Amino acid sequence: MTEQEDPSRERLKNHFAQRVTHQARQILEIWQRLQANEWSPAGLTELNDANLRLLRFADRFEQPEHTELARAINVALQDMEANHSRLSSPIITELNRLMQRLSRTGLRQGDLMAHICLPPLRKPVYILLHDLERAERLAKQLEFFELNAQAFGDLTTFRHAMAERHPAAIVMDVDFSGPGRGLELAAEAQIGLEQKLPLLFFSLHETDTPTRLAAVRAGGQAFLTGTLEASSLMEKIEVLTCVAQYEPYKVLIIDDSRAQALHTERLLNSAGIVTRTLIDPIQAMAELADFQPDLIILDMYMPTCTGTELAKVIRHNDRYVSVPIIYLSAEDDMDKQLDAMSEGGDDFLTKPIQPRHLITTVRNRAARARHLKARMVRDSLTGLYNHTHILQLLEDCTFRARRENRPLSFAMLDLDHFKHVNDGYGHPMGDRVIKSLALFLKQRLRKTDFIGRYGGEEFAIVMPDTDEQSAYKVLNQIRQRFAEIHYPAQPADLSCSFSAGVVQLQNDADSLQMASQADEALYRAKHNGRNQVQHFHQLRPNATICAELQESVTPL
């Protein structure tokens, strides 16, 4: 028997590979805690130590993918340390990217012995319905949203699964294993757990208040009735289980004193806040457009212009009307402070200031501003960016792509025959399909892509660092998978498709031209039969297209 065929050696290799994967999971858990609790020096140290262990294990046990990722994470952490633990957007973006890659690693099925099975890194969702067949259909539908779900038909298999591994969430029929028994079973499952599991209860029929009260006492965080539909359930699960990507607050410091600006910068960096300093206030508008801060710290007295004058200039631009401006100055005259506040400022802090006072004020103001901005720029139905903001993001990305000589693609999507959905199944079903596509796009696209609801059943996607061919490939895969989703309805289940047009930024184009070109490609996809993606560069001249569209009797 050759060395490669030695089963004991293979078994040992798989055992060591599992140790590497478990160490990777520890890193991801630390990263999640950092995201939930914001940055801290202690968390940085813990992350660094865990990553060094991963690097040692991966080297020792010959896991090249983990070795590569551990080294890359180490470089990013060293860059941060070299900058005296200063956070910067590029470093955080890189760490987020590496953590996403790490979350997708694991032993490939072909590398495992037939009897060894390592569960996926993302925890599954357990589904326990009185109707096992319905639970299995639902689990299969959730797979389209990249969610691993397991259906259970009896109490024994569920308890065995719980002993093996805790899920990300539990969907429980209140009558599973007997009338009202699901509530008792869910409460039992939570006993002894340090961190309670998200519980979603389900009842085929409307229930009374005592039943819902029992669900609350059992730890239920949602209660669903009637028809269980995959996209709506996925939306609930995402809200309950998703840890948002860590995005530190960004603060622009404008102060003509380099020493004072550096002192403020160090205080904020130590609290996990990304900063950028500007000594020359005349450059403020260009810096605002590039940095897009959550908050501005502004000195009152500068030789080129006063802080109040600069605040007025900033407020003249509609994009920065809601960005908080905090004056930081040695001025202690209350009347002058109030006058400055009336000229576009939101707060006034007097030097010298206690570090905790500064950090708390900045965090509170930035958090409220970010929350308000999110409500202003998001579509209420889908949570995606609204029409105005997605075009603004396209303009920003166009400027950045041209400056850095990077590719940029833009796509327009439109649901096919959507009027038939509203007319035949009602507007609530139409809203459900729109929300389903929004969620599907968020699941399948990168965190660095921007997704917007352009209007009605139309969507727009900005894809930085992506050429047209790559964008086409991704969108076509999404289109194919989306068409496989079924929505329970009468007299038959409903399925929907979408058409799309995609364009890449060219040297002579601006954001409005890109939007027009993507829209043109979308209409060509509609004209050619729908349920397809069209490149803009494949199109013939505009006059030819317009003539064909006018001649066509096929409704778009």
Q: Which residues are catalytic?
A: 457
If 0-12 CB within 10 Å is exposed, 13-18 middle and 19+ buried, where does residue 137 land? middle
CA dist 89 and 482 (Å) reads: 33
- 3-state per-residue secondary structure call for 291-305: HCCCEEEECCCCCCC
If 0-12 CB within 10 Å is exposed, 13-18 middle and 19+ buried, where does residue 342 land? exposed
C-beta atoms surrounding 108 within 10 Å:
9
One-letter amino acid of 396: D
Tokens 């939007």 correspond to 515
Helix axes of 7-37 and 64-82: crossing angle, nearest 10 degrees: 30
**Contact status, residue 283 vs residue 291, Cβ threshold 8 Å:** no
Query: Is residue 12 within a helix (H) or strand (E), and if so which, with residue range?
Result: helix 7-37
Half-sphere exposure of 463 (CA within 13 A, CB side): 27
φ, ψ dihedrals at 365, nearest 5°:
-65, -45
Structure tokens at 60: 């020792």
Query: Cβ contacts of residue 50 below 8 Å, gap of 6+?
Result: 23, 26, 27, 30
Cβ burial 3-42 (10 Å sphere, 16+ → b, else e)? eeeeeeeeeebeeebbebbebbeebbebbeebbeeebeee
Q: Which of 480, 52, 447 is nearest to 242 (CA)?
A: 447
CA dist 49 and 356 (Å) reads: 28
